[in-house]
Amino acid sequence: MSRLASNSALAHSGYQGPITFESFSSRVVSPLLSNTLCVWRDLWDDSEETAKQAKNFIDLQWDAAHQFTP
């Protein structure tokens, strides 16, 4: 199932709970957890910009999900 189809199913079911984005960077995660998660490099260094981009991505996906008809 595509991301759009699964998001659409969630949207059309009336879901109103949280939708989250998890992003790990070795810059902010402890070395032990970085190794456990296999995060070997800094994927980002500006957490505020990453959060803004993630919010924009989620909003665009959620809007598209509401318009999608399987």
State the residue range of the domain holding 26: 20-67
Please indicate, yes or no, if residue 36 is contained in any of the structural domains. Answer: yes
Number of structural domains the chain divides into = 1
pLDDT digits over 7-64, tens only? Answer: 899 899 999 999 998 888 888 888 898 889 888 888 888 889 999 999 999 999 999 9
User: By CB neighbour count within 10 A (0-12 exposed, 13-18 middle, 19+ buried), where does 62 fall?
Assistant: middle
Please indicate, yes or no, if residue 14 is contained in any of the structural domains. Answer: no
Please indicate, yes or no, if residue 13 is contained in any of the structural domains. Answer: no
Please indicate, yes or no, if residue 5 is contained in any of the structural domains. Answer: no
Please indicate, yes or no, if residue 47 is contained in any of the structural domains. Answer: yes
Please indicate, yes or no, if residue 10 is contained in any of the structural domains. Answer: no
Please indicate, yes or no, if residue 11 is contained in any of the structural domains. Answer: no
Q: Taking the model in full, what pTM does it have?
A: 0.74
